[in-house]
Structure 1
Amino acid sequence: MKILITGAAGFIGYHLTQALLHIGYKVVGLDSVNDYYDPNLKYDRLFELGIPKMQAKKWNFEVVNSSGNFKFIRTQLEDMENLQLIFKKEKFDVVCNLAAQAGVRYSIENPKAYIDSNLVGYFNILECCRQFKIKHFIYASSSSVYGIDNEVPFNVSANTDKPVSLYAATKKCNEVMAHSYSHLYKLKTTGLRFFTVYGPWGRPDMAIFLFTKAILKNEEIKIFNQGKLERDFTFIDDVIESMVRIVQSGNISNHLYKIYNIGNNQTVKLMNMVNAIEKSLNLKAIIKMMPMQPGDVFSTLSDSESLSRDYGFKPKTELKLGIEKFVKWYKSYYQ
């Protein structure tokens, strides 16, 4: 199979690309490498995949690694004309759409970025999948779609009509758009609701990354809602194992349209997460308690039984082990 991964320079996209290349697939990666967070981290991820930094910076320029199994193109999904040329030339079997403008809080400050990337760009990918008869379209959704009204654990059958951030609203739109394409054009679509993914090469705007950085610099960390928050933290290796199985097995359900939770099935109190980082660093955090942030939810917990039933795998990495692996990478990367 030849597989397209959008957002290939991103956290999950990088790890998925690496895993699929290791198995032996040919992969084409697209990414705009925007400056939402330090682009150098994205270029370093690409370098790990065999793409030189200077070549990766060129727009709409094809760069192939030395093994010849990974091609990278820096482009925007909003560029429909270029996207169609890529689809026509490459003849993909499977598309994994991980490109998106991420971040709940940033969606309050810069909502247009979410419309451009998460709606316009997403539509362009979806439409190309229809035009070029892609066998399976896999896309990133988010646990944010559950909002604040649902009881935990979150089940994929729960009502998700009340998002509390624009980011969550765009992810809900992605799911609805995929459903319409599955219904109208018989396109097989699989949506993945990720639950707080963390690990080596992670995003600098995520709490575990921010807290590790601040504690090492002896700077204060901000704890929202006075620490009374809970999250289902999901280690990156578990996310990638789930996705690889879905890529390899295809859509094995009897439905053209399917959604799965990708979560660790455990809820962790925010302060317990902080304590785990402190123990791994052997340092104490300077804590500043803050009120609840707009767009945040109080608790997340995944019901991943359908993933386990269909693909024989359920995320299970304990937070302590995951944080130890992240801290080891962080110290190595930032010396």
Structure 2
Amino acid sequence: MRVLVTGAAGFIGHHVSARLLARGDAVIGVDNLDPSGDVPLKQARLARLQGLPGAERFTFHAVDVTDGPALRAMFEREHPERVVHLAARVGVRAAGAASRGYLDTNVTGFLHVLELARGVEHLVYASSSSVYGSGTPAPFREDAAADRPLSVYAATKRTDELLAHTAGHLHGLPTTGLRFFTVYGPWGRPDMAPMLFLKALREGRTIDLYGDGRMRRDFTHVDDVAEAVVRVLDRPPSGAPPYRLLNVGRGEPVALRDFLALLERHLGTRARLNPLPAQPGELDATWADSSALERETGFRPRVSVEEGVARLVEWYLQHSAA
């Protein structure tokens, strides 16, 4: 199977690409290697992919999804059979200050992918738990209203879901949007709490803890997320239109301060904290009902937070010492 993965040098994209290579697929990786991001980390992820068994089936294109002509040329050259679209501008807090960039990448870029993916067997794309917004009863179910986003980022992800529904209705394109819940693990994004906490703990620096660490997140290990993506990819939706949304979450919300305590225990150190008010645009709690995912694929995330943190710390200690 020829699978195109946008955002292949990103956190989740790197793990999904590795999972696809491991099972024998050909992976066409796409990433813009945005210089405003952590380019060395992206290059390290790519280097790992290029050193894995099956790397001869991995090709990479430095293309931005907002560049329609370049993306079209790449699609026409590579002829993907399935597409996993993970490229995005991410981060709830930063989106308000850079709304245009979020709209360009997350909405216009997604429109380019929708147009070019007509005729593929299945388009699986990244949505977000942030689409549920305020007032959603827990645990979050896919049939809950998602019309009160708290951030520009959340609004762009909900827009993508609506555009995918339209593409299914107008063109019969099978799509599945995956609402990811607080993904963490090795090779994670350095701007997210787990990596920020690890780095600060190792360096003895003070940690900014928003909302007294009471916010609860449904921490979901990236290995589970990659497995879910691949299983969903093999099972396109049917119906009219061929469209669906699925939660991908562990289903066990954990307070941020309790997650930090696990990191402290596995590192054998104590955090120095700087308590700060909760930030606007952040949900008080996220909590997935992933029963639909299990119904559709026979799989649900199973890596406990205890086990996941242990894996993350082990990787971090090896990587930071390298």
- TM-score, normalised to structure 2, is 0.96
SS at match of 1:28: strand
- In structure 2, C-alpha distance between the alignment counterparts of 1:252 and 1:264, rounded to whole Å: 26
Task: Name the structure 2 match of 1:10.
Answer: 10
Task: Name the structure 1 match of 2:213.
Answer: 227
Point out the more displaced range, 30-39 or 232-241: 30-39
Aligned match of 2:111 in 123, 138, 142?
123
SS at match of 2:50: coil
Q: For residue 262 of structure 1, what is the amino acid of its counterpart?
A: V
- In structure 2, C-alpha distance between the alignment counterparts of 1:205 and 1:252, rounded to whole Å: 37
Aligned match of 1:110 in 98, 106, 115?
98
Task: Name the structure 2 match of 1:71.
Answer: 59
Taking a change above 3 Å as real, the CA distance of residues 203 and 222 of structure 1, as seen in their structure-2 partners, is: same
Q: For residue 281 of structure 2, what is the amino acid of its counterpart?
A: G
Q: For residue 199 of structure 1, what is the amino acid of its counterpart?
A: G
Q: For residue 4 of structure 1, what is the amino acid of its counterpart?
A: L
- 1:283: Cα distance to partner? 0.2
Task: Name the structure 1 match of 2:83.
Answer: 95
Task: Name the structure 1 match of 2:287.
Answer: 301
Q: Contact (CA 8 Å) 2:176, 2:236: kept in 1 or not?
A: no
Alpha-carbon deviations, 1:160-182, whole Å to 9, x = none? 01100000000000000000000
- 1:37: Cα distance to partner? 3.3
Figure out how many residues of one structure are paired with residues of the other and give that number.
320
- In structure 2, C-alpha distance between the alignment counterparts of 1:36 and 1:98, rounded to whole Å: 18
Task: Name the structure 1 match of 2:178.
Answer: 192
Gaps of 5+ in 2: none
Point out the more displaced range, 111-120 or 185-194: 111-120
Q: For residue 242 of structure 1, what is the amino acid of its counterpart?
A: A
Q: Contact (CA 8 Å) 1:253, 1:310: kept in 2 or not?
A: no
- 1:254: Cα distance to partner? 7.5
Q: For residue 86 of structure 2, what is the amino acid of its counterpart?
A: L
Task: Name the structure 1 match of 2:160.
Answer: 174
Taking a change above 3 Å as real, the CA distance of residues 291 and 67 of structure 1, as seen in their structure-2 partners, is: closer
| 1:31 has 2:19 as partner | no
- In structure 2, C-alpha distance between the alignment counterparts of 1:244 and 1:314, rounded to whole Å: 12
Task: Name the structure 1 match of 2:41.
Answer: 41
Task: Name the structure 2 match of 1:270.
Answer: 256
Alignment RMSD (CA, Å) = 1.5
- TM-score, normalised to structure 1, is 0.93
Task: Name the structure 2 match of 1:144.
Answer: 130
- 1:36: Cα distance to partner? 4.4
- In structure 1, C-alpha distance between the alignment counterparts of 2:44 and 2:210, rounded to whole Å: 31
Alpha-carbon deviations, 1:282-333, whole Å to 9, x = none? 0000011110101111000000000001100111211111111111111111
- In structure 2, C-alpha distance between the alignment counterparts of 1:176 and 1:148, rounded to whole Å: 19
Alpha-carbon deviations, 1:49-106, whole Å to 9, x = none? 117xxxxxxxxxxxxx984201000011111111111111211110000000010011
- 1:253: Cα distance to partner? 7.0
Point out the more displaced range, 149-158 or 104-113: 104-113
- In structure 2, C-alpha distance between the alignment counterparts of 1:187 and 1:286, rounded to whole Å: 51
Structure 1: which 4+ aligned runs deviate by more than 2 Å?
65-68, 248-255
- In structure 1, C-alpha distance between the alignment counterparts of 2:261 and 2:221, rounded to whole Å: 17
Alpha-carbon deviations, 1:84-131, whole Å to 9, x = none? 11111211110000000010011122222201110111110111112x
Gaps of 5+ in 1: 52-64
- 1:146: Cα distance to partner? 0.5
- 1:249: Cα distance to partner? 3.1
Q: For residue 31 of structure 2, what is the amino acid of its counterpart?
A: D
- In structure 1, C-alpha distance between the alignment counterparts of 2:239 and 2:197, rounded to whole Å: 40
Q: Contact (CA 8 Å) 2:150, 2:281: kept in 1 or not?
A: yes
Q: For residue 25 of structure 1, what is the amino acid of its counterpart?
A: D
Q: Contact (CA 8 Å) 1:139, 1:192: kept in 2 or not?
A: yes
